[in-house]
A and B are shown apart, each in its own frame.
Chain A
């Protein structure tokens, strides 16, 4: 039992009706806020009481057709902290290499009796396809360069925790915008919550067309730095680039790496974020990554909280009862 008699620690948001989390583009500001609020509650409760049984008896499958360490582990931990069982699947050594389509693979895993599938794939739209073909809940853990909704949410949660609100802040996404699912999810989420978003990177990786999404496009990091409240330094996606979009890593670092010198040009309370894995020395120098403005590790912790919230909301475990007790298993 928790301390306050009859006081539930968690309330299921009345306006939450989704079974899938595929992107942030289609979510409303209030749905995003619900996710963030539940995430806060989840992490607070976990800190106080440890593992919960909110999803006891549920099975969640991690279906990763593309390599991942942190996201996969983060989802696994989230499921386990809520008392769910997890099934791990990765494409190497699986039937996919034997010619089975990813939809068939997913259907097979579903048939084993899973309640949610967490999926990552190199092609945009794959989680949307699974949502059409499967009966269980689908969580997009990254579909190529398209979206990575839980990454967007954990970034936004980190900003909100640090600043109390997202509204009115200037957030710059720096680096390989065009190949970044993190950029797209951040743009949708941040703009819905009222932030001003700048996308900044080499012209071959950020075209002026992005302005039509309502963001500001900048090529010079130095020029925008004094205005930024938050910098989110995206990883250069070497593996997604058909032709090399800039002459050398050295030149990229010269123009866009966040280093001590650039820190001096920044606002004194600037937040430094990176979705990781980071290429130290490319997007960010070690003294910045490990410095006092960096919230990179807080992002990682928030990742687990956001994924707990998403799983709980999507599985609708709290929908039948209006309130819930999070009991120790």
Chain B
């Protein structure tokens, strides 16, 4: 199964080595063996891949995708979700703990890991719950979860509203050196809310989700972290207020990492005018000023990570009025193309910074040995055709759910090949 691969003529982008140039990449026995090896150094049985015009980067890493199992198999299964991830360029994903029942026991962690091993696509890491039953009251057995393989703890998408619990969790996790992922939101300000509070919301009269609901929770989280120390990752921020709070806190030396969802960068609250419930996400799509603040924060390093925010929901759940439809957008299939189309192409984000936010930084947040093409690293590598234009269609998506407003939309950029641990797991056939 293990083969040796030489990728030639591709543009290698590895932010961790500050590399962005055309070079040859050699993978031997599952690891990155050399960059620009001489012909004499090549092993005899070496497959060559011509990547002319393509980009070669470390495989993408996602911090929290919802994979549906157990309990929400109608939305997604570990099998379908990991296929969507792999073909979308993600070689490692962490699966969210909001399953039914939630992943709050070692057995549940084990279940996901076994299912993922059976699917045998991308690497799957498990996030355990912070609280028992994800109820936000008592600590889950975090030690057992970590023992079973959990790489992070989170009750997301539910925010950790109980301040005492969050403080205790931050302290308790000091023993395990695992990050807590919180989605900052003050629930009492957003209850029954549907969209970002602002002018568009005033016109459409949908129930509001004010920006300060996020700002206040961000402020609280950062303040607690300054007291307890430990590792905190704010998994999806979306407001200029949050950005500014994080920026100041980081300047004071707080060690915190922050993510933003790709959807929150590509779409704004004006899209809700269509009343298409696929735009109903949480955090909500904000107005342009908030989006600009987030883009600036990516640029200056205040925001570390771009996540997919993959929340698959069946058509029947989404084909309802705005109040009744659940939050969420299916994004694993389209995330990379969204970044290229909406951020890189218009010049809002550089390739290097994009790969940093989609691969290097998220792997650091989880403490994974991934996200780089440095010699000796596991050979998780993807080839991207940055110019290919394709139209998002139901039949082109591997996720079980196609709850995306992008159906019918042409996007630029596509994964062509994917290696996980030096094994070529995916080759896109021409025209597919």
- Interface presence of A213 (CB below 8 A): yes
Instruction: List chain A residues, Cβ under 8 A from B199.
Output: 209, 212
Whether B205 contacts A145 by the Cβ 8 Å rule is yes
Per-residue CB contact flags for chain A residues 116-137 toward chain B (1 = under 8 Å, else 0) read: 0000011111101100000000
- Interface presence of B387 (CB below 8 A): no
- Which residues 296-318 in B have Cβ within 8 Å of A in the complex? 316
- Interface presence of A103 (CB below 8 A): yes
Q: Tell me the minimal C-beta distance from B324 to chain A in angstroms.
A: 7
Q: Tell me the minimal C-beta distance from A36 to chain B in angstroms.
A: 23
A-B contact count (CB 8 A): 55
- Interface presence of A192 (CB below 8 A): no
| Complex: A26 Cα to B371 Cα, angstroms | 49
Interface size on A, residues (CB 8 A): 26
Given A125-B321, A128-B275, verify A25-B203 contact (CB < 8 Å). Answer: yes
> In the complex, what residue of chain A is closest to B204 when comparing beta carbons?
A124
- Interface presence of B322 (CB below 8 A): yes
Whether B275 contacts A129 by the Cβ 8 Å rule is yes
Whether A125 contacts B191 by the Cβ 8 Å rule is no
Given A103-B319, A125-B321, verify A144-B205 contact (CB < 8 Å). Answer: yes
Instruction: List chain A residues, Cβ under 8 A from B324.
Output: 101, 123
Interface core residue of B191, B198, B205, B274 (most chain A CB under 10 Å): B205
| Complex: A242 Cα to B274 Cα, angstroms | 25
Whether A210 contacts B202 by the Cβ 8 Å rule is yes
| Complex: A232 Cα to B174 Cα, angstroms | 62
Q: Tell me the minimal C-beta distance from A45 to chain B in angstroms.
A: 35
> In the complex, what residue of chain B is closest to A212 when comparing beta carbons?
B199
Whether A122 contacts B275 by the Cβ 8 Å rule is no
Whether B321 contacts A123 by the Cβ 8 Å rule is yes
Say which residue of A181, A207, A213, A242 sits within 8 Å of B205 (CB atoms).
A181
> In the complex, what residue of chain B is closest to A183 when comparing beta carbons?
B205
- Which residues 145-175 in A have Cβ within 8 Å of B in the complex? 145-147
Instruction: List chain A residues, Cβ under 8 A from B322.
Output: 123-125
Q: Tell me the minimal C-beta distance from A187 to chain B in angstroms.
A: 10
| Complex: A126 Cα to B319 Cα, angstroms | 11
Whether B319 contacts A146 by the Cβ 8 Å rule is no
| Complex: A181 Cα to B204 Cα, angstroms | 10
Per-residue CB contact flags for chain A residues 90-127 toward chain B (1 = under 8 Å, else 0) read: 00000000000111000000000000000001111110
- Interface presence of A196 (CB below 8 A): no
| Complex: A209 Cα to B192 Cα, angstroms | 21
> In the complex, what residue of chain A is closest to B202 when comparing beta carbons?
A209
> In the complex, what residue of chain B is closest to A129 when comparing beta carbons?
B275
Q: Tell me the minimal C-beta distance from A138 to chain B in angstroms.
A: 13
Say which residue of A125, A181, A184 sits within 8 Å of B275 (CB atoms).
A125
Given A101-B316, A242-B191, verify A121-B321 contact (CB < 8 Å). Answer: yes
- Interface presence of B206 (CB below 8 A): yes
Whether B320 contacts A102 by the Cβ 8 Å rule is yes
- Interface presence of B323 (CB below 8 A): yes
Say which residue of B192, B198, B202, B206 sits within 8 Å of A125 (CB atoms).
B206
| Complex: A179 Cα to B324 Cα, angstroms | 19
Q: Tell me the minimal C-beta distance from A205 to chain B in angstroms.
A: 12
Say which residue of B203, B320, B321 sits within 8 Å of A184 (CB atoms).
B203
Whether A124 contacts B320 by the Cβ 8 Å rule is no
| Complex: A314 Cα to B184 Cα, angstroms | 47
Instruction: List chain A residues, Cβ under 8 A from B203.
Output: 25, 184, 213
Instruction: List chain B residues, Cβ under 8 A from A212.
Output: 199
Whether A103 contacts B320 by the Cβ 8 Å rule is yes
| Complex: A296 Cα to B79 Cα, angstroms | 63
Whether A126 contacts B321 by the Cβ 8 Å rule is yes
Instruction: List chain A residues, Cβ under 8 A from B192.
Output: 242
Q: Tell me the minimal C-beta distance from B58 to chain A in angstroms.
A: 42
Instruction: List chain B residues, Cβ under 8 A from A125.
Output: 204, 206, 275, 321-322
> In the complex, what residue of chain B is closest to A147 when comparing beta carbons?
B205
Instruction: List chain A residues, Cβ under 8 A from B275.
Output: 124-126, 128-129
Instruction: List chain A residues, Cβ under 8 A from B205.
Output: 124, 144-147, 178-179, 181, 184
Instruction: List chain A residues, Cβ under 8 A from B274.
Output: 128
Instruction: List chain A residues, Cβ under 8 A from B321.
Output: 102, 121, 123, 125-126, 129
Per-residue CB contact flags for chain B residues 239-278 toward chain A (1 = under 8 Å, else 0) read: 0000000000000000000000000000000000011000
Q: Tell me the minimal C-beta distance from B60 to chain A in angstroms.
A: 34
| Complex: A209 Cα to B205 Cα, angstroms | 13
| Complex: A181 Cα to B202 Cα, angstroms | 11
Whether B323 contacts A122 by the Cβ 8 Å rule is yes
Instruction: List chain A residues, Cβ under 8 A from B320.
Output: 101-103
Per-residue CB contact flags for chain A residues 239-279 toward chain B (1 = under 8 Å, else 0) read: 00010000000000000000000000000000000000000
| Complex: A203 Cα to B254 Cα, angstroms | 39
| Complex: A145 Cα to B322 Cα, angstroms | 13
Q: Tell me the minimal C-beta distance from B33 to chain A in angstroms.
A: 54
Instruction: List chain B residues, Cβ under 8 A from A178.
Output: 202, 205
Q: Tell me the minimal C-beta distance from A193 to chain B in angstroms.
A: 19
Per-residue CB contact flags for chain A residues 13-25 toward chain B (1 = under 8 Å, else 0) read: 0000000000001
Q: Tell me the minimal C-beta distance from A168 to chain B in angstroms.
A: 25
Q: Which 4 A-B pairs have the closest CB atoms?
A: A125-B275, A123-B321, A145-B205, A146-B205
17 CB < 8 A contacts A-B? A102-B321, A103-B319, A103-B320, A121-B321, A123-B323, A124-B205, A124-B206, A125-B322, A129-B321, A145-B205, A146-B205, A146-B206, A147-B205, A179-B205, A207-B202, A213-B203, A242-B191
A144-B205, A242-B191, A242-B192 known; 14 new pairs, CB 8 Å cut-off, are A101-B316, A101-B320, A102-B321, A103-B319, A121-B321, A123-B321, A124-B206, A124-B275, A124-B322, A126-B321, A145-B205, A179-B205, A184-B203, A209-B199
Q: Could you tell me which A residues sit within 8 Å of B by CB distance? A: 25, 101-103, 121-126, 128-129, 144-147, 178-179, 181, 184, 207, 209-210, 212-213, 242
